[in-house]
Structure 1
Amino acid sequence: MYRWLLLSYPRDYRRKRGAEILETVRDTAVTHRGTRVAANLVRHGLRARLGRPASRTVVLWATVFTLACGLFTASFGTWLTWLGSRPLDHDELAVAVNQLYPDKPVSHIDRDDPPSVFIIYGSPLSWSSASDLLLGDGGEYSLAGLGASFEQLPADSRPRVLAELLQRLRASGWDDTEAVYSNAYDCVPDDPRCDPATIPSNITVYAQRGDDILEVSINDDSTTPKMSLALTRSTPWSAYPVGVVAFVLGALSGWCLFGWASRRLEVRGPLAQGSAKFLFGFAMVMWWAPILLSTSLMLSHHLSEPHPRWHPLWEWLGQPAMSLAFLCGCLALGVAALSHRLPADQTLAHP
């Protein structure tokens, strides 16, 4: 087992000191717990990959880079599991609507299946959507859904409509959540015309049955109050184990990549080291600023209302809404990693 754990050390280090390390470990394992010896072996091996033994900050920067790589890799892995989820079927929506309100005419219902699991402006993601993703509209890339709506709800009996809706959901086998009330529109605070007591409110109820999630909204409109339904899929169960495995693999790969670049940079001149450090710092700002901003906003959003399905991991990382910053960071890392030819220590042989 210990021989396999030597893979945590860089290759050159293993060639020079591998036999000595194994001999020391086998002698130490007699008087110490094997798990502790193995953990120390891996810890020292990962540190040896970073080079720069006198540096006190290289471990911190490697950790920052490693966590980012793990998070982005995990988000990509969960995205792949979503692509393999069961596609939406407009017939399922028609059945759900008929179960809830067989006595009420439907003003609109989607009669075609979505073109893909995720869409942007109603269309599948393609190269033609690159400008939308990179120039501020990446937030439009979202999970596809099917919708239906009813017109002419009685405006003076919304509590009765809500109570009837909850009763019908439970009778049809849906597990509903607590109703969420939100203002129908926003107004400027401290404005004399802004009276929170008079602002109409919308009601949203989330319900789940199997892998189906139904979002029912009762819109408070004095002219044409209506109820709208949106059918989407729940998060695939495979997204969780795949996300964990992808995070571990991405983090390990990120650590090894950082270590390779760190050891390679040790032999460079001050100018090369300074430019590489600047580009690395710029890349980390481009990666972590969207993560910190989006995570705080998402956490506040999830705590403010119930969510039968959490937003996918990439939205917590600010993607693809801030994909331009992410690509700028990748470009900076690529420039920093460009190889520079080292002077060859060779002499010409004379005949």
Structure 2
Amino acid sequence: MHRWLLLSYPRDYRRKRAAEILETVHDIAPTGRGPRVAADLVRHGLRARLGRPASRTVVVWASIFAVACGLFAASFGTWLTWLGSRPLDHNELAAAVGQLYPDKEVSHIDEDGPPSVFIIYGSPLSWSFASELLLGDGAEYSLAELGASFEQLPADSRPLVLAELRQRLHAAGWEYAEPVYSNAYDCIPGDMRCDPASIPSNITVYAQRSDNILEVEINADNTTPLMGFTLTRSTPWSAYPAGVVAFVLGTLSGWWLFGWASRRTEGRHPLVQRLAEFLCGFAMFLWWAPILLSMPLMLSHHLSEPHVRWHLLWEWLGQPTMSLPFLLGGLMLILALGLAALPYRQPADQPLARG
């Protein structure tokens, strides 16, 4: 087993010191410290991959880069699982609404299924939407949904409508969350005409049955009181293991890639080193700034109201709303890797990286 653990070390390091390391490990193993020795082998091997033994910050930068790679890899892995989810069917929505309210006539219902699992402005993502995606409208890229609505009881009877809705959802086998109240409109804070207590509230109830999620909104508009229904899919079960596996693979790959570039730029001309470090550092700023901005907001949003389905993983990373910084950061990393890949002759007396 210990021989396999040596794969955590760089190839040149293994060629020179593998026999010595294994001999030392075999001497220590009978003392009962096998698990600790194995952990130390991996830890020192990962550190040796980074080179720069005198540096105190290279591990920090490698960790920042590797975790970012893991998060984006997990996001991509969950996205792939979503592509295999069951397509939405307008007949399912019609059946669900008809089962809940067989005594009411639907005034509007989507009659065609969506063209793909994710859409932007009603269409599948394509190169024609590149400008919208990169220049601030990335939030429009979202899960496809189907809608239906009909006129319901007057707005002053909405508490009775809500109570009846809960009863019908329970009878139809739907598991529903607590209702979410939101202002029907906003007014300017501090304005004498602004009385927050008088603003009517829309009521939204989220329910789940099997892989279907039904969002029911009771509109507060006194002129055209409506009840709206939106059907979407729940998160596929395969998204969770796929996200975990993708995160581990992405993190390890990010560490390996950073270590390769770090060792390749060690001992190079100072201009090459500084330029590569600047490109990598600024790229990490462009990658992590959206993440650090989005994660607290998403967490606060999830804690403030019930959710039957958590928001998609890439939304926690600020994507694709902030896809332009991500793309610019990726281009900078490509330039940094290009600098690391430039051929050069390593001095014969330069020591190998030590763990």
| TM-score bucket of the superposed structures, by smaller chain | over 0.9
CA distance in structure 2 between the aligned counterparts of 1:66 and 1:178, rounded to whole angstroms: 39
Q: Give the equivalent residue in structure 2 for 1:312.
A: 312
Runs of 4+ in structure 1 over 2 Å off: 339-345
Classify the secondary structure of the residue corresponding to 2:31. coil
CA distance in structure 2 between the aligned counterparts of 1:254 and 1:299, rounded to whole angstroms: 26
CA distance in structure 2 between the aligned counterparts of 1:8 and 1:36, rounded to whole angstroms: 16
- Conserved in 2, the CA contact under 8 Å of 1:206 and 1:216? yes
- Conserved in 1, the CA contact under 8 Å of 2:212 and 2:233? yes
Shift of 1:32: 3.3
2:344 aligned residue (337, 342, 345) = 342
Aligned pairs for 1:125-204 (under 5 A) are 125-204=125-204
Q: Give the equivalent residue in structure 2 for 1:3.
A: 3
- Conserved in 1, the CA contact under 8 Å of 2:90 and 2:146? yes
Unmatched runs of 5 consecutive residues or more in structure 1:
346-351
Q: Give the equivalent residue in structure 2 for 1:348.
A: none
1:205–1:21 CA distance, 2 compared to 1 (3 A): same
2:165 is matched by which residue type in structure 1?
L
Is 1:32 matched up with 2:32? yes
Q: Give the equivalent residue in structure 1 for 2:229.
A: 229
Q: Give the equivalent residue in structure 1 for 2:67.
A: 67
Shift of 1:152: 4.5
Q: Give the equivalent residue in structure 1 for 2:353.
A: none
1:60–1:344 CA distance, 2 compared to 1 (3 A): closer
Greater CA deviation, 303-312 or 146-155?
146-155
Aligned pairs for 1:183-262 (under 5 A) are 183-262=183-262
- Conserved in 2, the CA contact under 8 Å of 1:74 and 1:244? yes
Shift of 1:341: 3.7
The Cα offsets for residues 250-296 of structure 1, whole Å up to 9 and x where unpaired, read as: 00000000000000111211111111111111100100000011101
Shift of 1:343: 5.8
- Conserved in 1, the CA contact under 8 Å of 2:138 and 2:319? yes
Q: Give the equivalent residue in structure 2 for 1:324.
A: 324
CA distance in structure 2 between the aligned counterparts of 1:137 and 1:153, rounded to whole angstroms: 36
CA distance in structure 1 between the aligned counterparts of 2:171 and 2:345, rounded to whole angstroms: 78
Relative to the length of structure 1, the TM-score reads 0.96
1:176 is matched by which residue type in structure 2?
Y
1:314 is matched by which residue type in structure 2?
W
CA distance in structure 1 between the aligned counterparts of 2:260 and 2:342, rounded to whole angstroms: 15
Q: Give the equivalent residue in structure 2 for 1:349.
A: none
Is 1:109 matched up with 2:109? yes
Q: Give the equivalent residue in structure 1 for 2:119.
A: 119
Shift of 1:153: 2.8
CA distance in structure 2 between the aligned counterparts of 1:143 and 1:56, rounded to whole angstroms: 44
CA distance in structure 1 between the aligned counterparts of 2:325 and 2:32, rounded to whole angstroms: 48
The Cα offsets for residues 297-317 of structure 1, whole Å up to 9 and x where unpaired, read as: 101111111000000110000
Shift of 1:155: 1.8
Classify the secondary structure of the residue corresponding to 1:202. strand
Relative to the length of structure 2, the TM-score reads 0.95
- Conserved in 2, the CA contact under 8 Å of 1:153 and 1:224? no
Classify the secondary structure of the residue corresponding to 2:256. helix
- Conserved in 1, the CA contact under 8 Å of 2:154 and 2:222? no
2:158 is matched by which residue type in structure 1?
R
Unmatched runs of 5 consecutive residues or more in structure 2:
348-355
Aligned pairs for 1:294-305 (under 5 A) are 294-305=294-305
Classify the secondary structure of the residue corresponding to 2:156. coil
Classify the secondary structure of the residue corresponding to 1:274. helix
Shift of 1:342: 2.4
Classify the secondary structure of the residue corresponding to 2:142. strand
Classify the secondary structure of the residue corresponding to 1:215. strand
Classify the secondary structure of the residue corresponding to 1:30. helix
Shift of 1:82: 0.3
CA distance in structure 2 between the aligned counterparts of 1:152 and 1:98, rounded to whole angstroms: 14
Superposed CA RMSD: 1.1
1:91 is matched by which residue type in structure 2?
N
CA distance in structure 2 between the aligned counterparts of 1:91 and 1:200, rounded to whole angstroms: 33
CA distance in structure 2 between the aligned counterparts of 1:237 and 1:226, rounded to whole angstroms: 34
